[in-house]
Amino acid sequence: MHPALSVLLLTTLIGAAQGLVLTLAGVELAARAAGPGGAALPSTFLLAGAAVALILSGAGLVASFFHLGHPERAWRAIAGWRTSWLSREVIVLPAFMGTTALYGLARWAGHDAALPVLLLAGLLARVWFGCTGMIYAAVKAIREWA
């Protein structure tokens, strides 16, 4: 199996973005659980984490276009969402990015909804992991490793 560089970049970059958002959620939950006497998290740390997650997932999205035979038809990938894990992944990716951006904006504005939005982004990251896993489960070369 010799995957294209674009697939390697896509998988690595989006995985890093997902992991970063899940880590941010864990850190923010731990800080909340510690209560007012716990260590305060600098808002710039959380904002930077959200920005890096957006950059990583955006770069992964750009990398994915280099793997397409007809990039101009990429929008049609959504059409098979009922049966295709790839279509579901294509739907979850922008939802994850949008939710992560919304978290960054809420955190920047100091809004109380920042944590619930981050938890939603974390949930979308988990769903996205599931979609990606199901795509790779269908690849014959990977099934042969088992």
Query: C-alpha dihedral over 102, 44, 42, 35, to 10 degrees?
Result: 0
Crossing angle for the helix pair 114-137 and 5-34, to the nearest 10 degrees: 140
| DSSP secondary structure string for all residues of 69-138 | S-GGGGGGGGGGTTT-HHHHHHHHHHHHHHHHHHHHHHHHHT-TTHHHHHHHHHHHHHHHHHHHHHHHHT
d(CA 82, CA 98): 22
- Please state the pTM of the whole predicted model: 0.87
Per residue of the chain (146 residues), what is the pLDDT tens digit? 677 888 889 889 999 999 999 999 999 999 888 877 666 778 899 999 999 999 999 999 999 888 777 778 777 888 888 988 889 998 999 999 999 999 999 999 989 899 999 999 999 999 999 998 898 888 776 666 66
The residue extents of the domains of the chain are 5-143
